[in-house]
Amino acid sequence: MSKKKELGKGIRALLSNIENSSNPREKTELVKELNSSILEIPLNKIEENPFQPRSEFDTEELKELAQSIKIHGLIQAITVRNLGGDKYQLISGERRLRASKIAGLKTIPAFIRIADDQALLEMALIENIQRSDLNAIEIAISYQRLMVECELTHESLSERVGKKRSTISNYVRLLKLPPQIQSSIKYNEISMGHARSLAGLEDVDLQLDIYKEVLNKNLSVRALENLIKSYSSEAKPIAPKKIKELPAEVKKIQDNLSTTLGTSVKIKREEGGSGEISIKFKSDREFNDILSVLDKLED
């Protein structure tokens, strides 16, 4: 796994050595060492990227991400460029950076790059993916970094790492799963096969509901696939009834609540504006966990 450490004299010395090195081989090894580490950097030492193409961010989505970060931590580190000394500039992850500030964090996990190290970064990340001790989330993050920071398409990345495009897509899709499911993948509580099946579901609340059943019953991948099929077959008879779908904005709120509370949340809303919100729990422990999250939301 990637190392995570506080920014200190050792890293500053490493950055200095990279800048001063005239030996290409030595510089390559130093950059590889730097790119294999996740470091905790003070938020007030990071400046925004003036070339960031995205300038508007949904306020409610940022608040929801901030709440998730408070509960689950930041799973995917941002990437910054060292500007010299202890100053850094954001390269990717502005949404995560803004949400971390809202969450009240003082430091944030980050990958550090130096100026003009594009080719070395690509080489270091590709070499890192070949390691046998990486979990699926670490591989997914590496693929994502290669595509975003090195501007690679799925096809070009496929050629560089010797993997099928579908394999890369399956890994990257894991980063769209709710934080608690990503954590379970990261800590080997569920396998890549489980994760791939869960990622195929569209509703966040259904993902979470089935995910908890996998943990509670220790279901195999095959059993999980059969469970998902049973949900699909149960849903077919009610399709002709044309149940009125929730408006997109309400459906989004429902999914966000499911993600934040870590359980199935259903919203029923009438045309006049009345309705109800139901929160599902299966045990006293789940009930208490939900109350704990709601208490934090009040804070």
pLDDT tens column, 44-74 = 999 886 655 455 678 888 998 999 899 888 8
Query: Could you tell me if 40 and 7 are in contact, meaning their C-beta atoms sit under 8 angstroms apart?
Result: yes
Please say if the pLDDT value at position 154 is more than 90.
Answer: no
DSSP β-bridge partners for residue 88: 46, 82
Domains of the chain and CATH, by start = 1-116 (3.90.1530.30), 118-176 (1.10.10.2830), 179-298 (no CATH)
| Distance of alpha carbon 252 from the chain centroid | 18
Tell which residue, 243, 299, 237, 239, has the closest CA to residue 266: 243
pLDDT of res. 220: 93
Q: What is the rounded CA–CA span in Å between residue 183 and residue 92?
A: 22
Confidence of residue 20 (pLDDT cuts 50, 70, 90): low
Confidence of residue 118 (pLDDT cuts 50, 70, 90): low
Query: Could you tell me if 137 and 75 are in contact, meaning their C-beta atoms sit under 8 angstroms apart?
Result: yes
Please say if the pLDDT value at position 134 is more than 70.
Answer: yes
pLDDT of res. 260: 80
Catalytic residue numbers, as ranges? 94
pLDDT tens column, 227-280 = 988 887 655 444 444 446 777 777 888 888 888 877 888 888 777 667 788 888
pLDDT of res. 289: 75
pTM (global) more than 0.75: no
Rounded to the nearest integer, the mean pLDDT of the chain is 78
pLDDT of res. 119: 64
Q: What is the sign of the dihedral through the CA atoms of 9, 10, 14 and 20?
A: positive
Tell which residue, 82, 6, 16, 74, has the closest CA to residue 37: 6
